Amino acid sequence: MQGIIIILFLQVLMLLVFFFFQRKNINLFSIFCFLLMPFPFLLGMYFNSFNENICYSKVMFNLNDSSKIAILLNSKKIKDEYIKKLEDMPINGYESQCDKLEEFTTGIHVFLENHTNEIFD
């Protein structure tokens, strides 16, 4: 989301500079600014992809860690609840929202940690 805001801000700024200098008859600078306009878009794409990759890394970490905990607990009831929760994961293919996945997997992780504390206390 931050990348999109950066893109929009820089695009508007470049358009304003373009129109300001065009009015002053400095066409070379305005053409230069116009040619630079795709770069904020590419910069925003990079920042968005970086944030998404970090988010999916957190999701994978939570799933990996919670799977290890579920295996070590050795309780059929908890494993069945864990499987049921995994089946309810909000996956919509390429339209999946990473924030929702991260929140969901964090909830599963907390659920298993709570059961770990109940068993080992």
Higher-pLDDT residue of 92 and 105 is: 105
Residue 90: band (very low, low, confident or very high) from pLDDT cuts 50, 70, 90: confident
Q: Cα–Cα–Cα angle for 107, 108, 109, nearest 5°?
A: 90
pLDDT of 8 higher than 80: no
* DSSP category for residue 94: G
Place of tokens 């309810």: 88
For the chain, what's the residue count?
121
Q: How many Cα atoms occupy the beta-carbon half-sphere of 109 within 13 Å? A: 15
Q: Which of 73, 75, 100 is nearest to 88 (CA)?
A: 100
Mean pLDDT of 15-21: 70
Could you list the residue range(s) of the whole structural domain that residue 44 is in?
2-120
Please state the domain count of the chain. Answer: 1
